[in-house]
Amino acid sequence: MSIVTVQLGQCGNQVGQELFEVISNDANDTQRKVYSECSSERFFNETANRELVARSVLIDMEPKVISQSIAKTAKSGKWRYGDRSHFSQKQGSGNNWANGYCVHGPRHEEVVMDIVRREVEHCDCLAGIMAMMSVAGGTGSGVGTYVTQCLRDAYPNSFILNHLTWPYGTGEVIVQNYNSVLTLSHLYQLSDAILVHENDTVHKICAQLMNIKHISFRDVNKVIAHQLGSVLQPALTGDSHGVYNRNPIGELMSSLVCHPEYKLLSVCNIPQVSSSSMAYSMFTWPGLLKHLRQMLIANSKMEEGIDWQVRAPSLQPEGIERTRSHRRPGFNTSLANLLILRGKDVNNAEISGFQHPSLYTPWLPADEAFSMWKTPVPFNKYEKSAILVSNSQTLLRPLDNMVGKAWNMFASRAYIHQYTKFGISEEDFLDSFTSLEQVISSYSQL
């Protein structure tokens, strides 16, 4: 089964290119034929000349990034984008969600959806669609939201996963919080799940774990791509009977999204080291999983600076409900977790620490809340690696902060006229705020 990726805006296209770059290494791995063929079928079409062509659609309202991506990948010799799988214009969306959603999206809907339809028709069996976008600017967020709406209408029975890159908290765009509120509130009604990467977090990983002195957007995008690839590449599920999972997006949904009110997913992985340090690093499964579990419960996205004082709450005797008063300060309650292990001696890894009921909300049994995938095939040069995809309170604080900042601007009517002139009313803003306040409330009650 195949995944069609829709790359939207500058960020979505740049992250998408890095993702296919990582994945193509596995798809070209002749030493592990079954794994390689599964990876290739999932992400690439293969031409008569055995060229790998990404199952991807590139969309931007400016031509520069798409032109660079197409030229660069064509020269790589490993893979390329399709000749007719991209669409761009000469004028951007001006960092305005309303311009992207109300103007550019409807104006170019027909040609964009024709490209998507052509890509879907190349699949023998569609596993799902992954839309990749930023929430800060105008094209990724506004056009991205509109295209997601069109995808939902065109493919009502297919899984749609939105991958969002969250902007730096200090601000890339002055209206980024408006754009983020409008994007998230709409996607919550359209998408099956929303997988989020925060630029601030990834930047810290680059600086503190990868030891990169002058961090570029490409450095940030490569870390995001590594984590995404770790999730989407072939793995063995608990009931796969030795056959690699066929539908990673569908199985991701069934493992993690058990209720339509809870769709926010985060990713953390371990180890993360610079390429120069990798040759001198030794990792064991007990050490990796001990750190990863503490990263989960203490809500830390990297192993450096983990708060080891945070502990899971004690379980209450049977018949006594666990309430908020029983929770420990700083503890990150999970609704569901998916642990993915890749590499040497993977069958010897002890995972019981992630199955303990105290980690999860009391209304879902722990055996339903936890899932594991694994494969003995290492990923991206790491001999052993562990990835945790979590539906938990991890994103509660950044979401609350973003909504709060947007509301403060809205209360003073700052920049509202930039949105109303394209057709987004104050009532539309209020509906979006109400929608996200409900999401915040639901996650707060886990």
Residue 189: Cβ within 10 Å count? 12
Q: Please give the helix or strand (H or E) that residue 338 lies within, else none.
A: strand 334-343
Q: Mean pLDDT over residues 99-124, rounded?
A: 96
Distance of alpha carbon 443 from alpha carbon 324, whole angstroms: 12
Which range has highest mean pLDDT (235-239, 302-306, 339-343)?
Answer: 339-343
pLDDT at 198 over 80: yes
User: Considering just the CA atoms, what is the radius of gyration of the chain in Å?
Assistant: 21
pLDDT at 154 over 50: yes
- Taking 3-state DSSP, the helix, strand and coil percentages for the chain, each rounded to the nearest 5, stand at 45, 20, 35
Distance of alpha carbon 153 from alpha carbon 176, whole angstroms: 27
pLDDT at 319 over 70: no
Q: In terms of Cα–Cα distance, which of 27, 130, 4 is closest to 79?
A: 27
> Strand, helix or coil at 83?
coil
Q: In terms of Cα–Cα distance, which of 270, 281, 284, 274 is closest to 230?
A: 270
Q: What token pair was written down for 348?
A: 């010897």
Confidence band of 325 (pLDDT split at 50, 70, 90): very low
Distance of alpha carbon 265 from alpha carbon 336, whole angstroms: 10
Q: Which residue has the tokens 């031509």?
A: 63
Higher-scoring residue by pLDDT: 55, 240: 55
As a whole number, the mean pLDDT across the chain is 92
Q: Mean pLDDT over residues 57-82, rounded?
A: 93
Q: In terms of Cα–Cα distance, which of 403, 445, 441 is closest to 181?
A: 403
Q: What token pair was written down for 245?
A: 């999972």
Which range has the worst mean pLDDT, 27-41, 128-142, 283-297, 423-437?
A: 27-41
Q: What is the pLDDT of residue 30?
A: 64
Q: What token pair was written down for 205?
A: 């990983």
Q: What is the pLDDT of residue 301?
A: 87
Q: What is the pLDDT of residue 123?
A: 92
Q: Mean pLDDT over residues 93-111, rounded?
A: 95
Q: What is the pLDDT of residue 384?
A: 95
Q: Mean pLDDT over residues 97-102, rounded?
A: 96
Instruction: Answer whether 179's CB lies under 8 Å from 418's CB.
Output: no
Q: What is the pLDDT of residue 224?
A: 97
Q: Please give the helix or strand (H or E) that residue 91 lies within, else none.
A: none
Which range has the worst mean pLDDT, 29-43, 136-150, 306-320, 350-364?
A: 306-320
Question: Domains of the chain, with CATH numbers?
Answer: 2-261 (3.40.50.1440), 270-312+330-394 (3.30.1330.20), 397-445 (no CATH)
Q: Mean pLDDT over residues 340-361, rounded?
A: 95
| DSSP class per residue in 50-76 | --EEESEEEEESSSHHHHHHHHHHHHH
Q: Mean pLDDT over residues 248-276, rounded?
A: 93
Q: What is the pLDDT of residue 343?
A: 94
| pTM given for the model | 0.94
Distance of alpha carbon 191 from alpha carbon 117, whole angstroms: 18
Q: What is the sign, positive or negative, of the torsion defined by CA atoms of 5, 343, 381, 202?
A: positive
Q: Angle 212-300-284 (CA atoms, 0-180°, nearest 5)?
A: 75
Q: What token pair was written down for 208?
A: 């503190």
DSSP 8-state class, residue 210: S
Instruction: Answer whether 294's CB lies under 8 Å from 310's CB.
Output: yes
pLDDT at 324 over 60: no
Q: Please give the helix or strand (H or E) that residue 397 lies within, else none.
A: helix 396-411
Q: Mean pLDDT over residues 61-87, rounded?
A: 93
pLDDT at 26 over 80: no
Which range has the worst mean pLDDT, 246-250, 295-299, 373-377?
A: 246-250
Widest distance between CA atoms in the chain: 65
Q: What is the pLDDT of residue 327?
A: 58
> Strand, helix or coil at 377?
coil
Q: Mean pLDDT over residues 152-158, rounded?
A: 96
Residue 23: Cβ within 10 Å count? 24
Confidence band of 320 (pLDDT split at 50, 70, 90): very low
pLDDT at 415 over 90: yes
Distance of alpha carbon 331 from alpha carbon 334, whole angstroms: 10
pLDDT at 168 over 80: yes
Q: What is the pLDDT of residue 31?
A: 62
Instruction: Compute CA distances 264 → 4, 75, 130, 132, 315, whole Å.
Output: 21, 37, 15, 15, 26
Query: 370-375 and 334-343: which strand pairing?
Result: parallel
- pLDDT per residue as tens digits for the range 39-61: 899 999 988 888 999 999 999 99
DSSP 8-state class, residue 226: H
Q: Mean pLDDT over residues 188-216, rounded?
A: 95
Instruction: Answer whether 376's CB lies under 8 Å from 346's CB.
Output: yes
